[in-house]
Chains A and B, each alone.
Chain A
């Protein structure tokens, strides 16, 4: 007999993963109908590892990660599935319990650090507040800790800059300060939602370096959300490609980047400039626009934009949503596409287009 007296807190997750998201759905009721922003998302993540979630804007990345933070509570969102963090289902804990976990167990940093900070409070005040809410410390101790964290994330003269207002910081410094705020309670999971999108290219690289560096120190699991495969290539152990609220390809980062088996991922790869550093590579943006998440049609959501439907028999693409199935390259790599020999198609048609110098003949 299993011990039923155990509290949910003490029960380890089924698969044992530190973070395990199972069949997560986030649906919004609007006056036009139900928006299925996240529709059956599953993934696992271990401490010290990084998951990259990639997809065009509107594919449901922010909505999904906000669900992990419990930020949809008290809104018109309907959530189902499981979000197991260290065995505890975050969708089931009370509002007060979830509040206490926010910032302590799970922290989040956002795309635009200027709007993400309160313009009327000093940077130090905002960082201290994040510490004080979870730790019974004096103002003075909190301030000391805030200065330490600012120093740790590379803010020069942190004991002076701690009293600055956000508008007195540069964009990169603001994002460093947000990272300091996010990590001040040593959370086990850090969600970075497009942390570098609003920054200069040179600053982007510094911020990514900082995140990797801090991850080693803090042993946190990181979810990095981006629409930039370059960021994923640098940061992620695992990659989840999202399209129209669903995972369309998921697996180890190296696999996804070198042996993708889903036409949408191919499209993303073709539209990244610096991934292969090849001068002959063509930059081909994906044609068309992401579909509406309101009343999606039955088939593959990528079908209206897909150039490879002819490789699938009949009108399967239009009528039937493909399941997530193991990729031909094996391992834990899965993809959502009807094409049987996707690996061969990639080798023969896609690779020569995007990285001619990688193709040996």
Chain B
């Protein structure tokens, strides 16, 4: 178990290292010229842009720039824009080209909303998808089973942003059942937090649960065909116990694995949800930053999203080892 945890930790650190190098390299070698982005041509002369490049240390080798960026995250650093110098306190992810503020101060309050949307949607996906999949698996081949499969296919063929948009238009803006906008931090009021996010959760959860319903159904049917389910039946266990203890316990493992993979795309996929529901999240901020070529903000949102994804994957892996004693006990 300890060996397994150490291996997973090392690989998580390696992944983060590769991503951070890529992010720093993107800044220097990317398609968008930082000097041009900071101060476009008519405003700044070519000489002025050269001076900016100089001040940003863009000609230094990548490892020097990488060390500078990382040290900024840990210790803070001074960032010079030509003649002006900004004190960027730790954790320093740079200074926004557009707003001239420490990027961290700009985005730190946006992590909560994004994670809230993703975690809530993830929970909703499982709460809707898994029971429906189990229901269909127990009745495999029946009309109810076929109806469930048909419904999941229909739902899945709707693009999810359309689904989210329709949910917003009809249930929030139109009927006014749900609040139109309103992200309240969890720490302010858990109730307001949940109520404000409920519709985005339901919309995202319902669209994505169709895949989980089918996946759960498949995993459960596979479990039903296992010898140990036959053993459970031979012991005289009731059908509900065979399904909910023996088969489900086995089916949960592949479901958790897939969920760990999907959670990353759920995080990035919240951009549209944030846009439509006006949730002040990371995705929305990144979208704006891309529009404005605000490179430090793009860098920071990319890095922080990567960090969140790596951490969730790590958690899923550890959870997986808890679920499977063959991994846990080696």
Which A residues form the contact surface with B (CB < 8 A)?
69, 71, 99-104, 107-108, 110, 112, 115-121, 126, 129-130, 133-134, 165, 167-168, 178, 181
Contacts and interface: CB of A to CB of B under 8 A. Distances in A.
A129 B228 contact: no
A121 B226 CA distance: 15
B192 interface: no
B250 A110 contact: no
A197 to B, nearest CB: 13
Interface in B261-318: none
A120 B323 contact: yes
Contact of B236 (A101, A117, A119, A178): A101
B138 to A, nearest CB: 10
Contact of A99 (B226, B236, B253, B325): B236
A69 B325 contact: no
A100 B250 CA distance: 25
Contacts of B234: 69, 71, 102-103, 107-108
B226 A181 contact: no
Contacts, number: 72
Given A102-B233, A120-B323, A130-B236, 13 more contacts: A71-B230, A71-B234, A99-B236, A100-B236, A102-B234, A102-B235, A112-B227, A118-B232, A118-B250, A120-B324, A165-B329, A178-B231, A181-B235
B237 A116 contact: no
Contact of B226 (A115, A134, A167): A115
Given A115-B226, A118-B250, A168 B329 contact: yes
Given A71-B230, A116-B230, A119-B228, A103 B250 contact: no
B238 interface: yes
A117 B329 contact: no
Contact of B326 (A102, A104, A116, A119): A119
Given A112-B227, A116-B227, A133-B237, A165 B232 contact: no
A118 B249 contact: yes
Contacts of A115: 226-228
B205 to A, nearest CB: 27
B228 A116 contact: yes
Contacts of A69: 234
23 contacts: A71-B233, A102-B233, A102-B235, A103-B235, A103-B236, A110-B227, A112-B227, A115-B227, A115-B228, A116-B230, A116-B231, A117-B228, A119-B228, A119-B325, A119-B326, A120-B323, A129-B235, A129-B237, A133-B236, A165-B329, A167-B326, A168-B329, A181-B235
A142 to B, nearest CB: 13
A69 B226 CA distance: 17
Interface in B209-246: 226-228, 230-238, 241, 246
A115 B329 CA distance: 18
Nearest to A168: B329
Contacts of A107: 234
Chain B, interface size category, equals 20 to 34
A133 B235 contact: yes
A107 B236 CA distance: 9
B236 A104 contact: yes
Chain A interface helix/strand/loop/mixed? mixed
A115 to B, nearest CB: 4
* Central interface residue in B231, B233, B235, B323, by most chain A CB within 10 Å: B235
Contacts of A108: 234
A167 B329 CA distance: 9
9 smallest beta-carbon distances between A and B, as pairs? A103-B236, A102-B236, A115-B227, A103-B235, A118-B228, A130-B235, A165-B325, A116-B227, A108-B234
Contacts of A99: 236-238
B255 to A, nearest CB: 14
A69 B277 CA distance: 58
Contacts of B326: 119, 165, 167
A133 B227 CA distance: 19
Contacts of B232: 118, 129
Contacts of A112: 227
Contacts of A178: 231
A126 B234 CA distance: 12
Contacts of A118: 228, 231-232, 246, 249-250
Contacts of A181: 231, 235
Contacts of A102: 233-236
Interface string B103-126: 000000000000000000000000
B58 to A, nearest CB: 55
Nearest to B247: A118
A168 B325 CA distance: 10
Contacts of B236: 99-104, 130, 133-134
Contacts of B249: 118, 120-121
A275 B232 CA distance: 36
B33 to A, nearest CB: 56
Contacts of B231: 110, 116-118, 126, 178, 181
Contacts of B226: 115
Nearest to A121: B249
Nearest to B249: A120
Nearest to A101: B236
B140 to A, nearest CB: 11
Contacts of B235: 102-103, 129-130, 133, 181
Nearest to B326: A167
A133 B323 CA distance: 25
A120 B233 contact: no
Nearest to B323: A120
Contacts of B324: 119-120
